[in-house]
Amino acid sequence: MGRLCFSKCRPSRVMGWLQIVFGGLVIIVSMSSLFRFYNAGFFLHNEEICRHFYGVKNVYEGFDIIALQDRVGEVLNRLENLQDKLELTVQKLEKNKEILDKTNITKLEYKKYLEEEVIRPLYSAHIALRQVRLPRLEGIRNSTMKEEPLINTFVIEEIRKYITPKENRVGKVNIYGTERIYNTIGHACVLYKKELEEYMDYDIGSYCEDDWNVAQKLMLSGCDPLPRRRCLTRASKVYQKPYPINESLWKLPDDRNVRWGNYQCRNFQCLSSKNPKRGYSKCSGCFEMEKEKLKWVTNSSLPIDFLISDFLKIKPGEIRIGLDCGIGTGTFAARMRELNVTIISTALNLGAPFNEMIALRGLVPLYVALNQRLPFFDNTMDLIHTAGFLDGWIDLQLLDFILFDWDRILRPGGFLWIDRFFCNRKDLDDFMYMFLQFRYKKHKWVTSPKSKDEVYFSALLEKPPRAI
Ligand SMILES: *[C@@H]1O[C@H](CO)[C@@H](O)[C@H](O)[C@H]1NC(C)=O
Ligand SMILES: *[C@@H]1O[C@H](CO)[C@@H](O)[C@H](O)[C@H]1NC(C)=O
Ligand SMILES: *[C@@H]1O[C@H](CO)[C@@H](O)[C@H](O)[C@H]1NC(C)=O
Ligand SMILES: *[C@@H]1O[C@H](CO)[C@@H](O)[C@H](O)[C@H]1NC(C)=O
Ligand SMILES: *[C@@H]1O[C@H](CO)[C@@H](O)[C@H](O)[C@H]1NC(C)=O
């Protein structure tokens, strides 16, 4: 590298020197592309495992990782030296005013130029290079055999970084008592490699694409939990402050508080059940507050519809927190809130802004798909209410896992309120067995015909205390 001489030389020479620096950056960038390429050969020291997971074709025999690592070390050192020198020069420039006064570029402009155009990119190149994760030469840690191969199925650097386990800083113990943190993604992500890589291909720190629908599609396809991203999510440019809680519960929110780009509708009125092009099918009518106001507080013509007041009378004051699993706009939670019961409502944005709607009403939406174990601890909830999504389509074994998970989070004496479950008449016995297997106390248990072939079923069940 040429000798540094800012304080003595003319701008043309400075520019020449900068060219060398940028040349270096180009080398660095191409180096990091090299790593991406060759990292596919990660397991060349452990071919057996590699064969097991990926077959032999991905092993690049003969690639000298040690040499590559030495090379990176060298580049890192040089970068560090360069950075020091540049910063020193800026300091010197600040002291020696008159040198640059003669030229057409002012000293201040020069300093700014160096700081913004040279030091900052150099610094980020430095950081980026440090974050390139090289294969470990010592072999694979016992515990990471499972996920380290996964890293090498991805090409996009951001997702590789994301799923690489993050070791605690040297000598530190984390609050969880683990040596490292695993950022996880659902294993089904591997099936959606292209979409996931698209999703993770962004400029760090800049705006994300308006792609929540891509994210949701991945979630619903089993790529769940999704990786976090280091880009800024977009928001409505004209976001209005939400209505106060005494108004928000029963009022359609301000249209300006939703980004409508990925929906068929462009405002809340359009989501009305009267509109055949509303873009969603489940819970039609649930964006009409007049209809919603009737639910669970007025006697319906069907015996399967229970009233909240009747339910709360079973154990006055004992129902305080719960979960509403279903598809809707949070009306159950709104009613319960008025009665001082806190309900979290699961919601997916299936064709309409359900999450935004619930949140703008002043309630808590929980954005989860069916794929996941619920993020609540055992024996914590007073109530699980479910309406609108559990019905005859569901695989019995899937339903079984879901019911056991609900049982897990319900506290002893807590309630499972199955609201308007429906299925084919001939399947009813199978489903009944599912619900009965837990030996809950039956407070209400009602079936009612839905159509010629289908039946409705509602139940109010209490989880018993368990001796063990
Ligand atoms: C400043 O710029 C003018 C024209 O752009 C040029 O004639 C002059 O030589 C420059 N001065 C210095 C010191 O470079
Ligand atoms: C894996 O762990 C076991 C016991 O914890 C140890 O005996 C073995 O040597 C370890 N293997 C590797 C490759 O570190
Ligand atoms: C809601 O509460 C605010 C004060 O907290 C009050 O000014 C406003 O009038 C109330 N709105 C309604 C509809 O009651
Ligand atoms: C519902 O009907 C029952 C009797 O059928 C009656 O006692 C009760 O008051 C009614 N509740 C409401 C909210 O109309
Ligand atoms: C809810 O709590 C508030 C404040 O504690 C109380 O004033 C109100 O009466 C309660 N409402 C019901 C229905 O219990």
What lines the ligand 1 site, CB under 6 Å? 102-104
- Average pLDDT (296-309) is 93
Contacts 24+ apart (CB under 8 A), 111-115: 114/86, 114/89, 114/90, 115/90
144 pLDDT band (50/70/90 cuts)?
A: very low
Pair 125, 150 in one domain: no
pLDDT of residue 104: 63
Query: Mutation test of ligand 4: which of 293, 294, 295, 299 has the most ligand atoms closer than 8 Å to its C-beta?
Result: 299
Q: In what order do the strands lie in the sheet with 454-462?
A: 364-366, 342-346, 321-326, 381-387, 410-424, 454-462, 441-449
Is 191 found in the same domain as 95? no
What is the tens place of the pLDDT at every residue in 328-367?
999 999 999 999 999 999 999 999 999 999 999 999 999 9
Domain of 210, in residue numbers: 142-220
Least confident span in 2-6, 172-176, 380-384: 2-6
CB of 298 sitting under 6 A from ligand 4? yes
Which whole number is the average pLDDT over 390-419? 92
Model pLDDT, residue 153: 80
Q: For residue 103, which atom of ligand 1 is closest to its CA?
A: 13
Closest CA to 322 of 250, 454, 411: 411
Same domain, 95 and 149: no
- Which atom number of ligand 5 is nearest to the Cα of residue 338? 13
The encoded tokens of residue 8 equal: 């003595």
Residue 179 lies in a domain: yes
Q: Is residue 196 a part of any domain in this protein?
A: yes
Q: Which backbone phi and psi does 366 adopt, to 5 degrees?
A: -115, 115
299 lines ligand 4 (CB under 6 A): yes
**Which of 98, 131, 164 marks a domain boundary?**
131
3 state DSSP class of 300? coil
| ω into 227 cis (within 30 of 0) | no
Mind listing the pLDDT tens digit for each residue in 184-200? 888 899 899 999 999 99
d(CA 405, CA 279): 31
Q: How many folded domains does the chain comprise?
A: 3
38 band by pLDDT with thresholds 50, 70 and 90 = very low
Task: Indicate if ligand 2 lies below 6 Å from the C-beta of 142.
Answer: yes
Residue 147 — pLDDT band, cuts 50, 70, 90? very low
Residues 207 and 100 in one domain: no
Are residues 120 and 149 both part of a single domain?
no
The answer to whether residue 354 is domain-embedded is: yes
- 442 in any annotated domain: yes
> Does pLDDT of 210 surpass 90?
yes
Q: Which ligand is nearest to the CA of 309?
A: 4
What spacing in Å lies between the alpha carbon of 341 and ligand 5's midpoint? 10
Nearest-CA residue for atom 10 of ligand 1 = 104
**C-beta of residue 224 within 8 angstroms of C-beta of residue 369:** yes
Report the percent of the chain where pLDDT is more than 90.
51
d(CA 43, CA 258): 47
Ligand 2 centroid to residue 165 C-alpha, Å: 18
Would you state the pLDDT for residue 294?
A: 95
**pTM of the model as a whole:** 0.70
Q: Is residue 17 predicted with pLDDT exceeding 70?
A: no
Q: Are strands 180-181 and 166-167 parallel, antiparallel or unpaired?
A: antiparallel
* Residue 254, pLDDT above cutoff 60: yes
Q: How far apart are CA 158 and CA 212, in angstroms?
A: 18
DSSP letter assigned to residue 188: G
Q: How far apart are CA 253 and CA 262, in angstroms?
A: 18
Q: Give the span between the Cα atoms of 322 and 333, in whole angstroms.
A: 9
pLDDT greater than 70 at residue 443 = yes
In a domain, 322, yes or no: yes
Q: What is the DSSP letter of 238?
A: T
Residues 393 and 288 in one domain: yes
Mean per-residue pLDDT, 163-174: 80
Name 441's bridge partners: 462
